[in-house]
Amino acid sequence: MRKTKDLLLKLQKLDDGIDALRADEESIPETKQELEEGLEALEEKVQEAKGKSVEFAKKRKELEIELDSMNEKKNKFKTQLFQVKSNREYEALQHEISGLDEKGSGLEDEILGILDQAEQAATIIKEEEARLKEESSKAKAEQAKLDQDLEKLRSAIAIKLDERTRMLVGVDKILLKRYERIRESKNGLAVTSVENGACGGCFRRIPPQEMQNLKRDERIITCEGCGRIIIWKWE
């Protein structure tokens, strides 16, 4: 019986190792995905700044066209100043001209503001593009390393699975099924040992009679608290 129990403990330890490797294996695609998402966010920032830059250029063009047509109008009024016949007409034209002057300087201010914003956007584009380039090459190196890690993990798992197959040759199938069933329902831990007079899985105190049974080592004993197989530690 002790040999079987030793084997169960060894099997549990091996499975713990495989589970840990598998958890690492599963985390790798997630990490890669996070790297991708980080780059996408940076790319988005660049595109956003570029979009703004296009908007500013468009707006600037519109304002410049408006300013040109206003200046044209103003010049026309200025020429008319020499042709009017009454003071009233003259004053009315002057009034129009000064109104256009005011509007024109407002437009000029607006254009300067846009130029300022466009310059800022250009700086952002330059900075973000440099950052994207840097992060891309970092991510590439990191992804290559992750791929290597994945390879290593997979071969480590394969070695352990091989060891497991060899370990289980000749082991009672019913016992194994029982082991697997408990493992499935108990978060991977099917076999535990007595720790300070309690079950190592759920820490329930083991009654004296059960302790005796455990030491006597005549059968497989499961914890009444959690259902795991408990094994007395002989060492």
Closest CB to Zn ion among residues 113, 225 = 225
At 191 the three-state DSSP class reads: strand
> If DSSP codes are grouped into helix, strand and coil, which group holds residue 26?
helix
Running DSSP on this structure, what letter comes out for residue 113?
A: H
Q: For Zn ion, which stretch binds (CB under 5 A), given 19-27, 53-61, 169-177, 217-225? A: 217-225
Tell which one of 55, 70, 225, 232 touches Zn ion (CB under 5 A): 225
Give strand ranges (E) for the chain. 191-195, 198-199, 221-222, 229-231
- The residues in 179-208 that bind Zn ion, with binding defined as CB under 5 A, are 199, 201-202
Q: Which is nearer to Zn ion, 47 or 212 (CB)?
A: 212
Query: 3 to 22, contacts with Zn ion by CB under 5 A?
Result: none
The least distance separating Zn ion from the CB of residue 216, rounded to whole angstroms, comes to 19
- Tell me which stretch binds Zn ion (CB under 5 A): 13-21, 131-139, 158-166, 222-230: 222-230
Instruction: Round to whole Å and give the CA distance between 229 and 220.
Output: 7
> Do the beta carbons of residue 67 and residue 104 sit within 8 Å?
yes
Nearest residue (CB) to Zn ion, 97 versus 182? 182
Of residues 122, 112, 101, 106, the one with CA closest to residue 54:
122
x/- letters, 56..95, toward Zn ion (CB under 5 A): ----------------------------------------
Which residue is it, tokens 């206003």? 70
DSSP sequence for 79-95: HHHTT--SHHHHHHHHH
Q: Which residues bind Zn ion (CB under 5 A)?
A: 199, 201-202, 223, 225-226
